[in-house]
Amino acid sequence: MQEKIESLLSEDPDRSYSKEEILNLLSTNNEDEEIIERILAEMEVLSSLKVEKSNIYSSCRGGTVYFKWNNT
């Protein structure tokens, strides 16, 4: 599932996707939704720590978390 998320983000690296958009695009049932939410939470934490180079950049605007492919 992480590969699907990364593929979605890398297809249009200039676009940011909200957590809800990613869930709507990739989940087909409650189990998928739970897995995607867990993976996005892990990606968000890794992005904020900046300890490890990540291909995913996350930001929060207006209480909504957005994910974007990191081009740098």
Consecutive H or E run containing 56:
strand 56-61
Give the pLDDT confidence of 18-27 residue by residue, as tens digits.
999 999 999 9
Q: Is the pTM of this model over 0.75?
A: yes
Cβ pair 22, 36 in contact under 8 A: yes
Residues of the chain above pLDDT 90, percent: 69
The whole-angstrom separation of Cα 72 and Cα 55 is 8
Please list the alpha-helical segments (H only) found in 1-72.
Answer: 2-11, 19-26, 30-49
**CATH (residue range 2-69):** 1.10.10.10
> Of 29-38, 40-49, 59-68, which range is least confident?
40-49
Do 16 and 59 form a contact (C-beta atoms < 8 A)? Answer: yes
pLDDT tens-digit series, residues 51-69: 667 788 899 999 999 999 9
